Structures are given as C-alpha cells and as structure tokens.
Structure 1
Amino acid sequence: MRIDRSRLHDVVLAGAVAAASMAVFALYGPAQLRAEGLRVDGVRPPDAFGALLVVLACAPVAVRRRWPLAALCAGLVPETLLTALGYGMGAVGLAGLVLLYSVASHRGLAVALGALLLAAVAYALTAAAGGWRAGLNEHLVVAVLLAAVWGAGRSLRLRRAYLEELKDRAARLERAHAADTRAARAEERSRIARELHDVVAHHVSVMTVQAAAARRVLAADPELAREALTAIEHTGRLAMTEMRSIVGVLRTDASAGTPAELGPQPGVRDLPALVEQMREAGLPARLVTEGEPRPLPAGVDLAAYRLVQEGLTNSLRHAGAGAKAVVTLRYGPRELDVAVADDGAGGSAQPSSPPGHGLVGIRERVALYGGILNIGPLAGGGFEVRASFPLKDGQ
C-alpha cells in the first residue's frame, strides 16, 4: 500500500505544533506571569478543558492541504474560545498562521482573501473580548505577521503555477517536435519512394523490353541476343548505382559517425544518355533543346530528369511497336518547359483508368516546385507529358 507522504508530513506538523502549544500553555500560566511581574487579572490557570481546546486548535493542521479553508475555520473556533474564557492563547496562534498559509498557497485568490479577512476578524474578536489590553504596536505586529504569512502562501502558489506552466509548455513543445519529426519522416519516406519507383520502373521496363527482344532472336541471331543481354546487364548496373545513391542517404558510417558519400543526382545534363538508352531499348527517341541552356536549381534539375524518365518509360510500355518519342526541353526567360510526346497508341487508354505511381510521383514533384503539369492524349494521336517549372531571375 502506497503511503501519501504529504499527509504524513501534515500529521507530524500538527503534532509538533500541538506539543509546542501545550508546553507554552502549561509553562506560562498565572504563577509564571506573577514571577515576571505581569498582571494576571482574569487569566484562568491551565486545566484539562483548556488543554483540550489547545489540541483542538492544532488538530486541523493535519488536514491543511486537503481541506485548508475548513481546517482554518475549525482551528479558529477553539482558538477564539481560549481567549474568551480567559485561558490565554499560548502558542495556538502558530496553528492559525500555518492554516492561513495553507489556504493562501492551495486555493484561489478569492478564497485566500476570504481566509485573510476571516483571520483578521477572529483576531479582532479575541482582542475585543480581552478588552484590547494589548498595545497598538502589538496589534500592528499581528497585522503585519498575518499579511506576511498570507503573502508567502500566495507567492508559493504563483511559483507552483509558473512551474506547471513551464512543464506544460515543455510538453507541448515536445509533442510539436514529435509531430514535426513524424511529418519529416513521412515526407522523406514519400520522397525516397518516388525516387525508388522512378529508378526501378524505368530500368525494369527497359530490361523487360530488352529481355523480350533477346528471347525472340535467341535462336535466329545469337549475336544480337548477346548484345541485348549485355544491354540488360548494363541497365541493371545503372539501376543498382542509382538505388545505392538514393538509399545511401539513410546510411551513416557507424565507426566515424559521418554520412556516407553520395553521388550526384541526375539532371538535364544526363538526358542525352537517357534518350540513347531508350533508343537501345527499342523506342526511337530524340532530344530537342530550345533556348539557351543555363544552370538550374538542384530540385528542378532532378524533377525535370525524372519527368522525362517517367514519360519515356510510359511510352516504352504503352505506345506500341513503331512509335516514336520526342523530348523537348525549352528554356524560357522565367520558366523551363519539359515535354515528352509520342505518336503511339497509348493515348487511347481509358481516361477513367487510375494513374500509376509514377505519374502520381511526377505530380508531386512538379507541385513541390510550383510547376504546372499536363498529362493526356494528343489530338492527332499519341500521348504527352508536359510540365512548366517557374524559374527565378538569373536561373
């Protein structure tokens, strides 16, 4: 069974306050007052009833945190009776101060102000019952003591609320950081998925076409089949190289703690090699460049390459035998236009058919850099993938 340490501490504090009050109540009776030359008119000697009132005045300290206001009210009643009956308060005023402090530190401002007013009224009643024998200075000391104890309790409450606010703010920041981390991870997974799809779909499509060609000519022309198999091997190596470059961003050198070395990402400078690869795979393709070529932002450069790669891959898959493809790269003053068009039968596909993962990835890439994407069949037959990327001045 778990013990509530705060309640145990309050019980111990109540016992200590009661013991101190009983000692003062018993030692500083009328005989001690006469020995010190003080007046004792109207002061009753200590007895069992007076001792019971002292204990009752100190007992509420044991529940000062759970019911602070009720404990203060319960403690003020025997404390007032002690003075009204002529016993003298002894040290029970200490219990009243502890209870006032507890109300101020554990309750709201309105309740705390009510407790302070209640303690002041109780002191005024006890002073009036004693005939206001104490001097003005003593009353001022009591008033300052009550205000100081109340202020200390309020200060503790405000500090506790401030610390709770700091903890809550730290928890909110931690939750926000975790949410940002999850979003960043999801975005990174999506980016890597797009890259892997573009690489795998393109190279596997090329390898599939080359493998089919090799199978058809294997018996009739072994030399041509050998060339096709060599092209398949070369395409597979290219695919593995690009995949290592993409996945390498996830790896680090465990011994040195440094990122793994990554090769440069492909860009428009690699389009001639890509077009040549498609020609070797059986898709007659050519590259047309309009305008003055100039350096492009890294993201736009990669997005343009992937768009051409995906467009040529779709043409290779769906355009049919004898189809031709044209890649157009147009450099404008403030934009870059990239288009992949073929004259095959791919444009006759059902428009209601769902787009593949590659085209979805292209849409995401183009939207990421503020571009405009158009995908669809051409009026005279064939299919086109066209995108326009905005460029800043000087790019």
Structure 2
Amino acid sequence: MSPGSRGSSSPDDELRLPRPPGFLRRFWGRHPVFADILTALICLTFSLVPATSFTDRIDDAVGVGRLWATTAPIVMVVVVLGCASLLVRRRYPTLVFVGAVAVALAYLLAPAPTGGPMLGIAAYTLAVHRSARACLIGVAVAFGTIAALVAGLAFTGMIGPMIAWNALVGEGLSALIGALIGTNVGNRHRYVAALIDRSRQLVVERDQQARLAAASERDRIARELHDIVAHSLTVMVALAEGVAASSDIDRARPGATAIASTGREALSDMRATLGILREDDAAPLAPLARDTTADTVDSARAAGFDATLTISGDRPELSSAVQLAISRIVQEGVTNAMRHARGAERIDVRVGYRPHAVEVDIVDDGEPVASSTTSPSGYGLRGLRERVVLAGGAVTAGPGSARGWRVHAVIPLEQENHDR
C-alpha cells in the first residue's frame, strides 16, 4: 500500500498535514534575510532606473530641466530610503507601507510619468505580516491620499494629466495586486499556523487524557486486586487457623481442600484482572463479572462463621458493571466482618431486587474496629464507595442498630431497564 493511501497509519496521514512547499518556497523560508535583501535590491533597481532616465528627454524650454535638477535628489533619497526599509518589512510592515506611499508621492515630482513596485510589495507585506483588514485599510488610505494630492497638483497645473493618471492607475493597480496576493498568502499562512496550534493542543489533550485514563485504570486494578487478595487471604488465614487447631487429620482435610480451592479462585481472578496489562489483543479488557455472592458466603461459612444469604425479589438481567459491584460489595463486607469484627460469629447477607434498584446489606454481630475499616489510607471501604458511585449508586457503612457493623448499598436499575 502506498504511503499516501487511505490505509496508511503514519502520523502525517492521520493529522492531514498540508502539502509541503516546493524547493523555492522552502529556500525563501529558510533564508528570510537573503530574501529581504534581494527584494530590496530588485525594488531599488526598478525604481531608480526610470527616475534617472529623464535627463535626455526633458524640455529645458519650459524650465522642466531646471526644476528636475532641484527635485531629483529628493526623489532619489526618498526612493533609496523606501527600498532600504524593505529590509525590516517583516518586523515593521506598517512603517514600510508608509514609506512606500512616500515613494509614490515623490514620483509626482518627476518630469514624466514613472513608478515602481514599492507600493505593491508594501501592500503584500502588510497583508502577510499584519492582517488582511490592516492591508485593506492601508490601501484605502494610501489611494485616498494619492488621489487628493494628485487632484490638487493637477488643478494648479503643477503636474500634467499623464503624470496624474499614471499615479492614480499605476500605483492603484500595483497596490491592489499586491494586496490580493498578500491576502491570499497571509490567510494561508495564518490558517496553517492555526492548524499547527490546534494540533499541538490536541496532542496535549491526548496526553492528558492518556494520563487520566492510566490513573483511572491503576485505581481500578488496585480496587480489584484488593478485593481479590484481601478476601481470599482472609478466608485462607481463617481456614489455616482452623486446620492448625485440629489434631484430627480427617477433620482438617476439608479445610485444607477449601484453602487450595480459595487460592485457585484467587489466582484465576487475578489473571483476569491483570490480563488488561498484556499487549495481546485477546486479553480481556475488564475482570470477569461473574456472580460470586454465594461463593463468598460459602467461604465465610467454611471459615467457621454462621453466614447466611437471603435473596428477595425477581432478579433482572444485570449489566456487568452492576453485577460486579454487587459481588464486590458482598465480598468486601464479608471480608471486613471476618477480619475486623471482634467476636463475630454471624454474618447475614441480604440482596433485594426491587423494581428500580438493588439493595445489598451485610450485617455482623461482632464488635467493629472503626479505625481499621474506615482508614482513609486503605482500599477497603474507599474502593467500595468508588465502585458503587461508578455504578450510579450509594453506599453507607457504620455500626448496626444493636450490635455489629452494617454495610448498606443501593444501586439503581434505571439504566438497565432503559438499555433493555
């Protein structure tokens, strides 16, 4: 596939960059000082040569020669200074345009119609290096000034009609052509500059979005790993303590089997969670959202707790986010009860499916240790709240009405019903 085809995945094709300039334009762009010097020399040549060719063609009988001998140095100095100002045309385009108008007015002192490209180059410079609006105003003011002065000199008989028409038509056309070309080139330069600036902003925004996405993904992985590792290790520790306390090998064998089973499930969940870190396209982008509520209660029961699970209402079809939230809520609540509730013997888990929401309650009968379960530096209840908020719900945790600790969460189902 060719580099310029639609299927190319190069950055230049994705950004749709404008066509690169040709050799001459690249040369002028890389050597602006040389370009300005050459422009000033060409303008000086085409401006001074006509002005110095009147000596053999003037009529001494009417005193034109004597008058030109007086005004010629003034015209030459104005033309030289005006052309020299082109060397700074990129930095001071307005000053250069004013100098070009002065050169056009100086040509009125010549004994015959003459002119030069100075006003056209200045109009081009004003449009490219300032703005099209500034160029339009400048050309209008310049033409008005030239027209007023020409009308006054022609009315008093100081200049002939040919000089007057040459000043109006010649300088007007030169300024108009320079303004049109400069407006086209200047607008293109400004458009390309705007595109480049916008592309830089998009790159910055893309990097910011990537960093935010990476931070969010790290938080999500941390929550998943905490839920998996904390619950599994808590169950395994409780089972291991039971096995160690038993001297009967036959009675200890089920506990050891449960430890191995819990470890295998934890490894499976960790592989699914960490799969997103692989570059393989076949890796899952999110942990498997299976219903582990019953497994969590069974593991607490195997660890020696009187754990119960009560489900009420008709279970609707749930999205993966809501199902995962329910499973993790139960897992975190049961894990906290097993780890932190001193003297807890009973853990009641209730999941109620309502028409518009799912309610989850985890209640134990132990003595809670608030500093352990609500520590701002841990991932327990903080990660649980973040998970429920992402699902559009709310969660509360605190001491129960009589004894123990209660975790209560409500997850709305409006989005689920709308999707179906």
Tell whether the structures are fold-level matches, with TM greater than 0.5: yes
Matched, 1:20 2:20: no
Structure 2 equivalent of residue 239 of structure 1: 266
Once residues 46 and 12 of structure 1 are traced to their aligned partners in structure 2, the CA distance between those partners, rounded to angstroms, is 31
Structure 2 equivalent of residue 65 of structure 1: 90
Once residues 47 and 132 of structure 1 are traced to their aligned partners in structure 2, the CA distance between those partners, rounded to angstroms, is 16
Matched, 1:251 2:278: yes
Structure 1 equivalent of residue 123 of structure 2: 100
Once residues 363 and 316 of structure 2 are traced to their aligned partners in structure 1, the CA distance between those partners, rounded to angstroms, is 23
Per-residue CA deviations over 1:73-119 (Å, capped at 9, x if unaligned) read 345546544542x455755x212321233233323535762464235
Could you tell me how far 1:263 is from its partner in structure 2? 9.2
Matched, 1:293 2:321: no
Q: RMSD between aligned alpha carbons?
A: 3.5
Once residues 62 and 129 of structure 2 are traced to their aligned partners in structure 1, the CA distance between those partners, rounded to angstroms, is 40
Structure 2 equivalent of residue 202 of structure 1: 231
Structure 2 equivalent of residue 354 of structure 1: 375
TM-score (norm 1): 0.81
Once residues 222 and 289 of structure 1 are traced to their aligned partners in structure 2, the CA distance between those partners, rounded to angstroms, is 36
CA 1:339–1:123: 2 relative to 1, 3 Å: same
Structure 2 runs not aligned, ≥5 long = 1-28
CA 1:41–1:97: 2 relative to 1, 3 Å: farther
Instruction: Choose which of 294, 302, 310 in structure 1 pairs with 2:332.
Output: 310
Per-residue CA deviations over 1:159-210 (Å, capped at 9, x if unaligned) read 4333333333333333333332222222222111111110011001111222
Once residues 258 and 409 of structure 2 are traced to their aligned partners in structure 1, the CA distance between those partners, rounded to angstroms, is 30
SS at match of 2:398: strand
Q: What is the letter of the counterpart of residue 17 of structure 1?
A: C
Instruction: Choose which of 128, 136, 161 in structure 2 pairs with 1:133.
Output: 161
CA 1:126–1:68: 2 relative to 1, 3 Å: farther
Once residues 373 and 265 of structure 2 are traced to their aligned partners in structure 1, the CA distance between those partners, rounded to angstroms, is 34
Instruction: Choose which of 297, 305, 318 in structure 2 pairs with 1:275.
Output: 297
CA 1:104–1:353: 2 relative to 1, 3 Å: closer
Per-residue CA deviations over 1:128-171 (Å, capped at 9, x if unaligned) read 27523218864345434433333433444344333333333333
Once residues 120 and 267 of structure 1 are traced to their aligned partners in structure 2, the CA distance between those partners, rounded to angstroms, is 82
SS at match of 1:134: helix
CA 1:96–1:332: 2 relative to 1, 3 Å: closer
Structure 1 runs not aligned, ≥5 long = none
Q: What is the letter of the counterpart of residue 375 of structure 2?
A: P
Q: Is the 8 A contact 1:326 1:342 kept in 2?
A: yes
Q: Is the 8 A contact 1:60 1:74 kept in 2?
A: yes
Q: Is the 8 A contact 2:82 2:100 kept in 1?
A: yes
Q: Is the 8 A contact 1:46 1:87 kept in 2?
A: no
Q: Is the 8 A contact 2:46 2:117 kept in 1?
A: no
Question: How many residue pairs get matched?
Answer: 378
Matched, 1:117 2:141: yes
Once residues 95 and 78 of structure 1 are traced to their aligned partners in structure 2, the CA distance between those partners, rounded to angstroms, is 7
CA 1:47–1:271: 2 relative to 1, 3 Å: closer
Q: What is the letter of the counterpart of residue 377 of structure 1?
A: P
